[in-house]
Amino acid sequence: MNSLNHKFQLPENWRVLMLYIIIGLLFTFFAARLFVLQIIEGPEYLAQAVENRTSEVNVATQRGVITDRNDYVLARNVASYNIVITPANLPGDEGAMQQVFRELSDMIGVPVNNGELTDETARLFKVCETDFGISQIVEIGDTNKPYSPIEILCNVDERLALAVQGKSADWPGVGVTVSPVREYPTGELTAEIIGFLGPIPASLEDYYTELGFQAGRDKVGYAGVEYELQDQLGGMNGLRVIEVDVAGKEMRDLVEPIAPIPGNNIRLTIDTRLQSVAKSALISEINFWNTYLGTTLSSQGVVIAMNPKTGEILALVSHPTYQNNRMAREIPAYYYEQLQADANRPLFNHAISGEYPPGSVYKIAAAMGALNEKVVTPEQQLMDEGKITIMQKYYENDPGQPREYVCWEEFGHGLQDFLHGIANSCDVYFYKIGGGFGTEVPNGLGIWRMAEYARALGYGKLTGIELPGEMPGLVPDPTWKRINVAENWSTGDTYIATIGQGYVLSTPLQVLVSFATIANDGLMVKPTLIKDIINAEGELIQSSTPTILSDITRDNVINEIIDNKATGNTRNVEPWVIDLIKEGLRMVITEGTAVAEFEGFNFNAAGKTGTAEYCDNVAQSLNLCQPGNWPAHAWFVGYAPYDNPEIVVVAFVYNGKEGSTVAAPIVRKVLEAYFELKQIDATSGRQ
């Protein structure tokens, strides 16, 4: 009996043992799992928990203000009012909430319901750029961040914003937020200088994110000073690290907030009054000739005024331009496409980016080189019978073909010395000193030496002005032609380069700098738009001083060229050479090509006319490039007073035909306005 009972107890003990083992294994598993979760992976889960309850808030800064030299505001920040709803603060009763929506809809004109809300449409949703109704917008906001205001209508009138704000007690959850929007009080008067803002481009999102900006909200410069001085104007955003609950409701700051740093304010060298005169003079002159001729002679032009001693740009006009205020809140696609399609390229800054044949204003480079290299003497007279014939050769043993080069004066100017060659802009005189002519000028300046003197005056290189898109122009030479045109340099190329034609290209700003250098006795000063940089507290942190690029009478900027090869030696321009050029430029006004246009002018002025033939893609498309009758640009550069220059002005009119009759009157008006404004400021005590 006992043995039978013993046999039956063994299985029962085995089952209990197995149960103990299983329980032990379970406890071991859970203990091990707890060890992994709390000890090994604990820091990771703790970090996730902290991340879930914390949120970083990027706090927008204020962009700096831009003013002219007299503190007239050119770009500023103004309040933009947005109607918003915070979903979590809406009435809990569905009927009361819909009543709020209906009353709000009646006031602001946004429908209560509009559009079908799906996962795809919700994903593509953008505030202020949607046709959804109020209910759909609120549903999207409630799904994502119920405690964050979501914009229903943006950029509303201040009166409407105040009306909505006044109903805040009756409409819980409905409110008004204020965000800064860029405003340009002078609009298209200064658009080519100031530029405009736009959203952070996708290609630069990483760059701006590293700087603390927020894509989709913050705007950056797209053109003009707004672009070039983004680092100064943009400032630095602030940062808050806050605790939030599971619904996204803000609880408290977890660390001390980092306050945003406002951008610096920029005071430009521009005088808005002179800018207005320059633009009006250019447009009225263009309109006059278009009306007088009964056809569209021109629709493009440039005027730039600068103090030659300081490099301060007083006015810079590129016509036509655009309305930057239309891009203040957003860049309308239709308007931007319209600007892009315009053949006159209003988004293109012709003053610094347009490369055009300079024509006769370029002659001062050849004039300076010819005297400095002793190609001719000041008193030496050369005969102009209206044309010369040379042998066009492409290589040394080329027998050549005869080619005729004519003067703008059909029957010539007769005997011309250096001063009268400049005053009368005598083409034949410059042909001879540039390329040589028989025994009269056995050895002309030549293209290599001419290029040296052109570069010394600033041609063929950037000036460094604080605007994007500046182009270097072109000072051609035989090496350039072989590489880019796949042809040898011809003798004729040298002759036409002497008068600023052929392959020579320059920007209006380069032309201005070249004459400013002559007016300034050989001292080349960097052109600048920045007068002062001021922080948000009104403290002056940087004031511009003239930047001397070179002194061509002292800095050995001319490479010595012998037999078309650089010797390694350098030389200066003799001061007396510059003095004689200045005297010739004065004679342009007193007895030369601009005497009629400056008759009765009350200040001693000097200058140079330029008429530059061209054959670009526009002229070709209009079949204007007829042999012997090409279209021409109009140039004029002038400065005053002659003996102590305060201002130098360049005017360029695309397809303006004659520099003297079209461009010179523009410069005269700007010069007259400058001295009139100077008198007004002196009388009023303004410095």
Q: DSSP string covering 593-623, please? A: TTTTTTTT-SS--EEEEEEEE---HHHHHTT
Instruction: Give the CA distances from residue 617 to residues 21, 91, 475, 624, 631, in Å, rounded to whole numbers and listed in that order.
Output: 93, 66, 21, 10, 12
Q: pLDDT grade, residue 1 (50/70/90)? A: very low
- What average pLDDT does range 78-105 have in this prediction? 90
Evaluate if residue 501 carries a pLDDT over 50.
Answer: yes
Q: Within 10 A of 434 (CB to CB), how many other CB atoms are there? A: 28
Distance (Å, rounded) from C-alpha 197 to C-alpha 220?
5
| Residue 438, both tokens | 């028989």
What percentage of the chain reaches a pLDDT higher than 70?
Answer: 93
Q: pLDDT grade, residue 18 (50/70/90)? A: confident
| Residue 328, both tokens | 């203040």
**Is 272-684 assigned to CATH 3.90.1300.10?**
no
Per DSSP, helices labelled H in 402-506 are 418-423, 427-435, 447-456, 478-484, 491-498
Contact status, residue 87 vs residue 142, Cβ threshold 8 Å:
yes
Q: Within 10 A of 306 (CB to CB), how many other CB atoms are there? A: 28
Question: Top-level CATH class of 45-72+185-268?
Answer: alpha beta
Provide the 8-state DSSP code for 312.
B
Distance (Å, rounded) from C-alpha 527 to C-alpha 307?
9
Provide the 8-state DSSP code for 414.
E
Instruction: Give the CA distances from residue 332 to residues 191, 198, 567, in Å, rounded to whole numbers and listed in that order.
Output: 16, 11, 58
Phi, psi of 142 (to 5 degrees): -65, -35
What pairs with residue 613 in β-bridges? Answer: 632
Task: Give pLDDT tens digits for 439-495.
Answer: 999 999 999 999 999 999 999 999 999 999 999 999 999 999 999 999 999 999 999
Contact status, residue 83 vs residue 152, Cβ threshold 8 Å:
yes
Per DSSP, helices labelled H in 167-215 are 191-194, 205-210
Distance (Å, rounded) from C-alpha 529 to C-alpha 538?
20
What pairs with residue 81 in β-bridges? Answer: 156, 178
Evaluate if residue 390 carries a pLDDT over 80.
Answer: yes
User: 537: closest CA among 65, 91, 88, 125?
Assistant: 65
- What average pLDDT does range 332-359 have in this prediction? 94
- What average pLDDT does range 514-525 have in this prediction? 98
Q: Are strands 66-67 and 265-268 parallel, antiparallel or unpaired?
A: parallel
Evaluate if residue 687 carries a pLDDT over 70.
Answer: no
Distance (Å, rounded) from C-alpha 218 to C-alpha 234?
10
- What average pLDDT does range 62-86 have in this prediction? 94
| Mean pLDDT value across the chain | 90
Instruction: Give the CA distances from residue 127 to residues 107, 130, 164, 219, 229, in Å, rounded to whole numbers and listed in that order.
Output: 19, 6, 19, 16, 29
Evaluate if residue 244 carries a pLDDT over 90.
Answer: no
Distance (Å, rounded) from C-alpha 175 to C-alpha 166?
9
Contact status, residue 572 vs residue 553, Cβ threshold 8 Å:
yes
- Domain limits of the chain? 45-72+185-268, 79-181, 272-684
The string over 605-636, giving b where at least 16 C-beta atoms fall within 10 Å of a residue's C-beta and e elsewhere, is bbbbbbbbbbebeebeeeeeeeeeeebbbbbb
Distance (Å, rounded) from C-alpha 53 to C-alpha 587?
80
| Residue 339, both tokens | 């600007």
Task: Give pLDDT tens digits for 178-211.
Answer: 888 999 999 999 999 999 999 999 999 999 999 9
Task: Give pLDDT tens digits for 559-572.
Answer: 999 988 999 999 99
| Residue 17, both tokens | 């043992």
Task: Give pLDDT tens digits for 103-122.
Answer: 999 999 999 898 888 888 77
Q: pLDDT grade, residue 4 (50/70/90)? A: very low
Long-range residue pairs from 176-179, CB within 8 A, at least 24 positions apart, any chain = 176/81, 176/82, 176/83, 176/84, 177/81, 177/82, 177/84, 177/149, 177/151, 178/79, 178/80, 178/81, 178/82, 179/60, 179/79, 179/80, 179/82
Distance (Å, rounded) from C-alpha 375 to C-alpha 390?
18
Among 209-223, 306-320, 667-681, the range scoring the smallest mean pLDDT is 209-223
Task: Give pLDDT tens digits for 154-169.
Answer: 888 889 999 998 988 8
Q: pLDDT grade, residue 42 (50/70/90)? A: low
Per DSSP, helices labelled H in 127-237 are 134-144, 158-166, 191-194, 205-210, 224-228, 230-233
Evaluate if residue 45 carries a pLDDT over 90.
Answer: no
User: 670: closest CA among 459, 512, 527?
Assistant: 512
| Residue 191, both tokens | 């658009």
Distance (Å, rounded) from C-alpha 193 to C-alpha 252?
45
Task: Give pLDDT tens digits for 591-629.
Answer: 999 999 999 998 999 999 999 999 888 888 777 777 777
pLDDT at position 8:
47
Tell the residue number behind the tokens 């025994």, with chain if given. Answer: 439
pLDDT at position 629:
78
Distance (Å, rounded) from C-alpha 633 to C-alpha 297?
10
35 vs 298, more confident = 298
